[in-house]
Structure 1
Amino acid sequence: MIGLEILKNRIKDAPQSSGVYLFKNKKDNPIYIGKAINIKRRLSNYGNLPKLPRRLQKMVSQTVNIDFELTESERNALLLEALLIKKFSPRYNIRLKDDKSFPLIKITKGDFPRLTRFRNEFSNEDKVFGPFTSALKTDKVIKILQKSFKLRSCSDLEFKNRKRACLLYDLKQCSAPCVNKVSQNEYKNQVDDTVKFFQGGQKKIFDKLEKQMVYFSESQNYEKAAELRDSIQSLNFIIREEVKISTQDTNYDYIHIDDKKHFSIYIGFIRYGRYLGGNLIYYSEKFEDDIDLTSLIIQFYLKNFRPNKIIISKKINGYNELKSIMRDNYKIDVFLKSSKINGVQKISKLTAKRNDKEVNLQKQKFINNQEILTLMKNRFNINNKIERVEAYDNSFFGNNYAVASYVVFNEEGFSIKDSRTYKFKDYDLKKFGDADLMRKVFKSRFSKDDKILPDLIIIDGGQPYLKICQEIIDESGISESIKLIGVSKGFKRDFRFDRYHTLSEKNLSLKDSPQIEGFIQKMRDQAHKLSKKNSMKRMSDSLKTSFLDDISGIGKIKKMRVINFFGSVQNLKKANRDELAQIKGLNSKNIKAILDKING
C-alpha cells in the first residue's frame, strides 16, 4: 500500500489524543512531521487531496507508513514536533526562510583566551557575544577587535606549538602570548577591555584609548599614538553599525509578527541596549493550513543562541504553550510587547520597518523569479509549471580531484541547502572521460524514489550529455516529464557564442530571448563555481597532507602539529633542523625523515 490508501488505513488505527505523527517514505525516513490535539481528526484532513497544497499532495503520494508518538499535552506535542523536525529535516514541512544558525563571537576560557567566530557549540565558561546577521559582518568585527585589543585568533594546538610570533604580531593585530610577548596580567586587561566594549562600556574604553593616545603623542611615540587613533576609528565603525535602543543594559530578542497582509516573522537582536541587527526568518504570501508560527519560533531557537528574554509583538495561537516550553525547558522568559519595557516602542517601530523592507524585497524577488520561470516554460514548451530547476557541471585539476555539482533554483531563487556536490576518489579522467563521470552523477541523483524531482535540468555539455541524462531517467522508472537543456561552450569559451540544445534540437538561438539566455548562463555559472570551489578544496586539502603522508613515523597528530607550526606546505619545504626540533613530539628520526623528503 502507498499514498492515500495507507493514509485511510492508518486513520482507522489513529489515536484520538494529543501527540505527533510522522509520514514516512519507502526508506522509513520521515518526510513530514505534524502535531495535533487529536491525531485521528488531524489525519483525516489529509484525505481530501484536492484541497491540499501541491506540496502536501506529493507528500501523501510518497507515504508508505505513518507513525504516532503520543504526548501528555498539546504543549509537549509542540516541543516534540520541533525537536523531531530539527532531527530529521523532513522534506515537506514548512521551513524557516534561512535554515541556518546565526554567527556569534566568543572569547574562550583559559589563561590566554582566543577571540573567534562560531555558530552553536560553546562552553559555559566561554564569553559569548551576538548574534550577528552574517559571517562577513562577524569577521569584520573580529578583525577590528583584534586590531584594537590584540587578542589571539589561533587554535589551541597552534598556540601551544608555536615557537615564533606569526604575521599577525608583525601587523600589530595580536600581542603574541604564544611566545611570551605579553604577560598574563597584561593579556587579561586586553580581554577585559574587549568584554567591556561588548557589554556597553564603549565610552569608558574610548576615554581610556584617547588618554593613552595623548600620552604617547606627548611622549613623541607617534607610531603608537597613530595605532591607537586607528583603533578608535575602527571601533567607532562598529558603534555606527548598531542602533541604541535603551539606556539600560537590556538583552533580549524582539519578535515582530505580521499575519494581516501576509505571514512573516522578523527577529531583532538587542544586546546591552543596542540593536545588533535582525533577520526575516519566515515569509509566506499565502496561507497554508499547516503554517504554525509558534512551531517556527521554537525551531529557530533550537538552532540558534538563546537569549534570557524574548518579547513578542502580538499574541499568536499557541502563545501560552510557547511561553511554558521556553521557560521550563530553556529558562527563557517570554513576554508580550508592553510600553513598560524600556525601549520597546523604538525596537517595535524599527523591526516593523525592517520587516516591511525585507518582505517587499522578497515579493519583488519572487515576482522576478516567477517571470523568468514562466518565460522558460513557454520558450521550451514545458507543460507543467516550473517549480524547480537544476544545473549540472563538473570540475578537475589536471587529471585529478574530480568533482561534480548541481545547483537548484526555484521561485525563491537559488536554494543553497538543496545544492549537492559529488566527489570521486581516484577517478581517471583520461581513461573514462567526463561523460562517464556525469553518468555516475545522474545515476546517484535519480536512483532514489523519494527525491524531489526537477522540472528542468541544465547541463554543461552538448546533446550526448542530454542523452546520457535521459537514459538514466528512463532506467530509474521516473514517469514525470523533465525537460533537458544543454549548453556547449562558445568560441574561445566566450559566453556570447555559447550554443544551446535540447534532445530534439541542436544549436538553438536565444538571441531573441536575452532574459532566458542570461538565466541559463547564470545557472551554468553557479554550478561551475560550486564544482570548481570543491575541486580546489580537495586539491588544497591534499597538498596540506600528502607531502607528509608517506613519511614513516609521522601520524595524524604529528602531521597536524607540523602543518600548524609552519602554516603551509610551502613554508615547511623551507624548514631547517632547528625549526623542526621546536615542534612537540618530533624525535630526531622524524626530523631526519622530513628533511630527507624536503631535500629529496
Structure 2
Amino acid sequence: MEQQNEKSEQAAEGVSTNETPKKFDSASFLKTLPHLPGVYRYFDAAGNLLYVGKARDLKKRVSSYFQKTLAPRTAVMVSLIADAQITVVNSEAEALILESNLIKTQDPRFNILFRDDKSYPYLKLSAQEYPRLSYYRGMLDKKNSYFGPYPNANAAKDTMVLLQKIFQLRTCEDSVFKNRSRPCLLYQIGRCSGGCTREISPQDYAHSVQIAKEFLSGDSEKVQNDLRRRMNEYSEKLEFEKAAVMRDHLAAISSVVHQQ
C-alpha cells in the first residue's frame, strides 16, 4: 500500500516511473506523406505543440528532420516528438500564410518567432496622426501596425495599390508629407486623401485607416458593408459620381476576396 502511494506521489510530482513514452514511429509516418506543399506540426507526449513549419514538398522537408546529422537544437526538438500532423494546401504561398497564423496563435516552443523573420514582406501602417502605408521588410516594431507576411513582393505591392485606390491612404515619405503646400498628383487622381494639406480631417482619415486595418486583418465583409452603406447614402443624395466610386471600390474588393 505504501509503495502504491509512493508511485502516485511520484506521478503527481512529475517524477518518471518505470513506464517509458512510446517512441515516435517516424518511418511509418514518412511513408504517408505526399510530395505536395503544406504545413507540418510536431507535438510532444503531453500533446503540446513543439514546432510548425511549411514545405514546398512535405515528404522531402519532413524527412530531413529524421536524418542522422542534425543541428543540436533541432536534435533536441526531434527527440521530444511523439506525434506529427500535416495539412496539405494548394501552394507554397498558402503554406506560408497558414504557418504564420499557427505560429502567431499557438506560439510553438521551438519556433523562431515569426515577427523576427526578415525574409518576407509586410505592409506597414505607421503610428502617426496621418499614418503612412508602406511596403516593409525587417524587424517589426510594436508601435506600428504590420500586415502579412506576403508570399512575395508583388503580392504586397498589389495589395498596397488596391488600398490606395479604395482607402486613399498616404504612401509618401514623412519629409515630403510635412513640407507640401498643396496636394500631390496622387490626390488629383484619387489615390490619396490629401492629409498633407488637411484636405481630410484627422478623424475622417482615422476612419479610413481603421477600415483598411479591418480589411487587411481579413474582415472583408465589414468593409464591403461599409462601402455599400456609403454608396447608398451618396445615391440618396443624388451624388451619383461618388456612388459610382464606392461601387467600383466594392467590385475591386469583391474581386480580391474571390481570388483569395
SS at match of 2:238: coil
User: What is the CA distance between 1:145 and its match in structure 2?
Assistant: 0.8
Distance 1:217 1:197 in 2: 24
- CA gap 1:239/1:161 in 2 versus in 1, 3 angstroms: same
How many residue pairs get aligned? The number is 151
Q: How does 1:219-368 map to 2 (within 5 A)?
A: 219-242=237-260
Match of 1:173 in 2: 191
1:186 to 198, 204, 228: 204
Q: What is the aligned counterpart of 2:215 among 182, 185, 197?
A: 197
Instruction: Give the Cα–Cα distance (whole angstroms) in 1 for the partners of residues 148 and 207 of structure 2.
Output: 21
Deviation at 1:76, TM superposition (A): 9.0
2:156 equivalent in structure 1: 138
Distance 1:237 1:205 in 2: 13
Residues in 2 aligned to 1:119 and 1:240: alpha-carbon distance in whole angstroms: 27
Q: Is the 8 A contact 1:145 1:235 kept in 2?
A: no
Q: Matches of 1:185 and 1:77 in 2, distance apart? A: 54
Residue 212 (str. 1) matches residue 230 (str. 2): yes
Q: Matched residues in 2 for 1:122 and 1:182: separation?
A: 29
Tell me if structure 2 keeps the 8 A contact 1:165–1:179: yes
Q: CA deviation at 1:77?
A: 9.3
Structure 2 CA distance, aligned partners of 1:118 and 1:237? 25
Per the TM alignment, residue 151 of structure 1 is displaced from its structure 2 partner at its CA by: 0.7
Matched ranges for 1:397-416 at <5 A: none
Q: 1:108 & 1:230 partners in 2: Cα distance?
A: 27
* Aligned with 2:177 (options 159, 162, 167): 159
> Is the 1:114–1:151 contact (alpha carbons within 8 Å) kept by the matching residues of 2?
yes
Cα distance, 1:238 vs structure 2: 2.0
SS at structure 1 position matched to 2:124: strand
Contact kept? 1:175, 1:181, Cα under 8 Å = yes
Greater fraction of residues in strand = 1
What is the alpha-carbon distance in structure 1 between the residues aligned to residue 123 and residue 255 of structure 2?
A: 17
**For the residues of structure 2 that align with 1:176 and 1:107, how far apart are their CA atoms?**
17
Name the CA distance, whole Å, in 1 between partners of 2:203 and 2:228. Answer: 22
Match of residue 126 from structure 2: 108
Unaligned 5+ runs, structure 1: 1-72, 79-99, 243-600
Give the conservation status (yes or no) of the 8 Å contact 1:101–1:119: yes
Deviation at 1:144, TM superposition (A): 0.8
Q: What is the CA–CA distance in structure 1 between the aligned matches of 2:190 and 2:148, rounded to whole Å?
A: 25
Deviation at 1:208, TM superposition (A): 1.2
Does the CA contact (< 8 Å) of 1:163 and 1:179 recur in 2?
Answer: yes
- Distance, in Å, in 1 between the alignment partners of 2:129 and 2:153 is 27
| Distance change in 2, residues 1:157/1:122 (3 Å) | farther
1:324-358 per-position Cα deviation (integer Å, ceiling 9, x unaligned): xxxxxxxxxxxxxxxxxxxxxxxxxxxxxxxxxxx
Q: Secondary structure at the match of 1:105?
A: strand
Q: Is the 8 A contact 1:106 1:116 kept in 2?
A: yes
Choose from 168, 193, 196 the match for 1:150.
168
Q: CA RMSD in A?
A: 2.4
**How far apart are the structure 2 equivalents of 1:161 and 1:77?**
56
Instruction: Describe the SS at the equivalent of 2:165.
Output: helix
Distance 1:126 1:216 in 2: 33
| Greater Rg by CA | 1
- Output one character per residue of 1:112-150: Cα deviation in whole Å (capped at 9) or x when no partner: 101111111442111111111221221111111111111
Q: Compute the TM-score of the two structures, normalised by the length of structure 2.
A: 0.54
Report deviation, 1:167: 0.7
Dislocated runs of 4+, deviation >3 Å: none
Q: Could you say which residue in structure 2 is the equivalent of 1:74? A: 72
